[in-house]
Amino acid sequence: ASLHPRPRHAPLGHEPVSIPSGPTHPHHDEKGSLKESETQVPVDAPRALLSLRLSVLSGRSTSPVRQELDLRRLAIDRGFRVVGVASDLDTSATKIPPWRRKELGEWLNNRVPEFDVLMTWSLDRLVRRIDDLATMVTWCLKNGKNLLSRNEQLDLTTPAGKEMARLIAGVAEIEAANVSTRLTSLWDYAKHQTDWLVGKPTYGYTTATDLDGHTVLVQDITAGRVLRWSRERILAGASARRVATVLVRSGLCGPGLTVSTLLRRLRNPGLMGFRVEEDKQGGIRRSKLVLDMEGRPIRIAEPIFTEIEFDSLQDALAKRSRNQPARQSGGCTKFLGILLCAACGTNMTVQNTFHNGKLYRYLRCRNCRSGGLGAPNPEEVYARLVEESVSALGDLPVFVREYAYYTERADKPAFRNGVTFFEPGDSTPEMDDVSPTDSSGRWTFVHNGKTFGERWAAEGADTLAADLRRAGVTCEITRSKIPGTRAPKIELELKIPDGVSDRLAIKPDAFAS
């Protein structure tokens, strides 16, 4: 079979389309003419942001040039002043919502005060999911923005547009309330069937259609070879790490295969042809058997391993396994990206070492030989970092970025470039009193009455680490050999960038929920 790849973004049956460029193309002449017309729009006119998107450029797709020209004409007709174009090409609206896209996401998250109207060629250019549309409508109403579609009757300044928005939000709310119930009901039914109805097959199997048109599980030839060979090598005494290395070098498994992934596959009881479901306990991913009404496993495929073969494999794995400590929710290494080696500049990470049945933990780096001098007792290093961070930054006031409205002209000295600093107690206009065409919105940074020392004392080390990363604060660790002692001398130096007060300001994610 030919291994020559098809052009990355060319769908089957279509050749890639190149967008014409150069000053002689008529699209450029038309765009230039429209831009000249836009100069006649009053400076205080509503400001429009144009959103362009395509999943794939093909002969059947609407080119981004055409989208932009149509939207610029509509903006002129409506009396809008175009202030920006967010162009996200080769972007799936189903997989990536508007606020997570590279260009449009930057406008929605950080450049909110710079536009009043979000214009899209059609709704499917903006979203492909009803809940994403409901989120965008809610966000626009909350932030005083108008959402305008060229090809649909969606305009939040019109009664029909508002009614459509309410309908969309209501349908999305009902859908969100029912989706969990539907999925649970579907899985409760599907997991007790011998046919394969839903879910991801166990590694070693793939789906196929039988003579009756039913979807069934069949063994994957390559994956089956991998599993059987792995069992043979482990029974012969090879380590799981050695087996994973050989599989990657042979090309039978991809370079992303890890020891934990290999062990998880070999420990899956689904290899005996039974139906399984995920079982999470103590942060460890496992698969467990699904039992029928009589308490028996449900067979859905021919087994890769018999029960005797599977049990012997589990015994061999158990003999070679070590009792690993329970996984920590924030990862093994705290303050990752903050604690750096002073010698090589790379991250300090925690290495767990077992000796005579006892667990030893060391902070090591990546580039120094053998990880450098191991810094034992990482918790002590963490405590020193917390102490120095609170001492240096704990007295700084906590400011939180909020989007607010200013109903008068921006003539106060504190108003600069769309950013206003409010003192505690200052009042802001109510959201209900602001129309979607109000162009006086701006960022405000409001002091919440706390210091960062109080914030970290109340919310813990995870919050401290997140704040330090956001501000670009790092801590260099120097390890010096002490004669006659295994443990080195540990010195910490906090590196605080300029403008740390502004960097520490909290910017909540408006789309986090």
- Residue 133 has a pLDDT of 85
Say how far apart CA 240 and CA 229 lie, in whole Å.
12
Beta-carbon contacts of residue 257 (< 8 Å; ≥ 6 apart): 244, 247, 248
Q: Is 312 helix (H, G, I), strand (E, B) or coil?
A: helix
Residue from 63, 39, 55 nearest 121 by CA: 63
Q: Which residues lie below 8 Å from residue 459, measured CB to CB, with a gap of 6+? A: none
d(CA 200, CA 448): 47
pTM of the model: 0.61
CA-wise closest residue to 406 among 394, 416, 395, 392: 416
Tell me the two tokens of residue 361. Answer: 């933990």
Asked if 57 contacts 16 with a C-beta cutoff of 8 angstroms, the reply is yes
Q: What is the DSSP letter of 411?
A: -
Question: Which pLDDT band holds residue 325 (cuts at 50, 70, 90)?
Answer: low
Distance (Å, rounded) from C-alpha 315 to C-alpha 283?
A: 23
More confident residue, 5 or 446: 446
Residue found by looking up tokens 């290395």 in the block: 245
The confidence band for 377, taking pLDDT boundaries of 50, 70 and 90, is: confident
Amino acid letter at 258?
T
How far is residue 105's CA from residue 119's CA, in Å, rounded to a whole number? 14
Q: Give yes or no for residue 171 having a pLDDT over 80.
A: no
Most confident of 161-170, 201-210, 394-403: 394-403
Closest to 374 measured CA to CA, from 390, 363, 358, 361: 363
| Residue 244: per-residue pLDDT | 94
Phi, psi angle pair for 483, to nearest 5°: -55, 135
Give the residue from 168, 124, 177, 116 showing the smallest Cα distance to 149.
124
Per-residue pLDDT, 108:
94
pLDDT above 70 (res 324) = no
Model confidence at 7: pLDDT above 60: no
Q: Which is more confidently placed, 187 or 2? A: 187
Q: Are strands 117-120 and 146-149 parallel, antiparallel or unpaired?
A: parallel
Asked if residue 378 lies in contact with residue 482, where contact means CB atoms within 8 angstroms, the answer is no
Give the whole-angstrom CA distance, residue 104 versus residue 49: 9
Give the pLDDT of residue 468.
96
Q: Phi, psi at residue 241, to the nearest 5°?
A: -65, -40
Between residues 24 and 342, the one the model is more confident about: 342
Give the whole-angstrom CA distance, residue 477 versus residue 348: 8
- Where does 416-474 have alpha helices with state H? 452-459, 461-471
In the predicted model, what is the mean pLDDT of the chain? 80
The candidate with the shortest Cα–Cα distance to 81, out of 89, 90, 71, 91, is 71
Q: Residue 128 has what pLDDT?
A: 82
Provide the pLDDT for residue 90. Answer: 84
> Is pLDDT of 3 > 60?
no
* 383 has a pLDDT exceeding 90: yes
Residue 495: exposure state from Cβ atoms within 10 A (0-12, 13-18, ≥19): exposed
More confident residue, 198 or 89: 89
| Coil/strand/helix, residue 451 | strand
CB 59 within 8 A of CB 17: yes
Q: Is the pLDDT of residue 376 over 80?
A: yes
Confidence of residue 331 (pLDDT cuts 50, 70, 90): low
E strand map for 174-297: 205-209, 215-219, 276-281, 284-289
Taken in order 499, 418, 513, 93, is the CA torsion positive or negative? negative
